[in-house]
């Protein structure tokens, strides 16, 4: 059975994007980037809402690799190799190694969980909120950067109530702290 992990970079005040929609967080340097490369290589699939998918499409293009560092090229390869499921009611098509779901995300993810093994990375706050309400997320990974954005798009949507139990913390390069949680009602 798949393990759905909502994983996002976030500011100390809990935002994944600033007030203007810009990520506003430092670009990962080589050692931190390698952490994300390793996680992407372990993933059986990526789940993304439209905005997250459109942001990450940057990694689809081989043209993007001109001037890229080795760790960036490695991430691009891992991204392109990992199957993606994109949830959107406005997109009409997605790129290679991606499947578009225009319907009910909860039903699609429930089916995916039973038919897939391993780590499934979830990106995007709106999709994560829907899947949290449905009880489908197994783990929350917050990569806390030592930056305060002062507003913007929160990791957890406003109005979302959720009890969590800690799974662990890890100090990473660039002053980033990884916080890992599971839903408190989840069996061990």
Q: Which domains does the chain have, with CATH numbers?
A: 2-183 (3.40.430.10)
What integer pLDDT is reported at residue 62 of this predicted model? Answer: 65
* Cβ contact 177:170 at 8 Å: yes
* Cβ contact 82:46 at 8 Å: yes
> Which DSSP string do the residues of 4-54 spell out, in sequence order?
EEEEEEEETTSEEE-TTS---SPPP-HHHHHHHHHHHHHEEEEEEEHHHHH
Say which residues have a Cβ less than 8 Å from residue 104's Cβ, sequence separation at least 6.
none
pLDDT band at residue 100, thresholds of 50, 70 and 90?
A: very high
* Cβ contact 105:122 at 8 Å: no
pLDDT > 80? residue 78: yes
pLDDT > 60? residue 188: no
pTM: 0.92
Q: Of 85, 77, 36, 84, nearest to 59 (Cα)?
A: 77
Q: What is the mean pLDDT of residues 137-154?
A: 96
């Amino acid at each position: 059975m798949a393990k759905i992990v909502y994983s996002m970079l976030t500011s100390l005040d809990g935002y994944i994007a600033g007030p203007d929609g810009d990520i506003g967080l430092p670009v990962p340097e080589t050692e931190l980037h390698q952490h994300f490369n390793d996680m992407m290589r372990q993933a059986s699939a990526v789940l993304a809402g439209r905005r997250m998918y459109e942001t990450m499409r940057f990694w689809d293009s081989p043209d993007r690799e001109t001037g890229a560092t080795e760790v960036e090229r490695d991430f691009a390869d891992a991204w392109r190799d990992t199957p993606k499921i994109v949830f959107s009611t406005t997109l009409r098509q997605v790129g290679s190694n991606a499947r578009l779901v225009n319907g009910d995300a909860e039903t699609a993810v429930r089916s995916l969980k039973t038919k897939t093994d391993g780590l499934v990375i979830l990106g995007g706050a709106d999709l994560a909120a829907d899947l949290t309400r449905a009880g489908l997320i197994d783990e929350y990974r917050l990569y806390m950067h030592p930056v305060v954005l002062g507003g913007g798009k929160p990791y957890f949507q406003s109005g979302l109530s959720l009890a969590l139990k800690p799974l662990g913390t890890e100090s990473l390069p660039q002053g980033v702290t990884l916080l890992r949680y599971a839903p408190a009602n989840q069996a061990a």
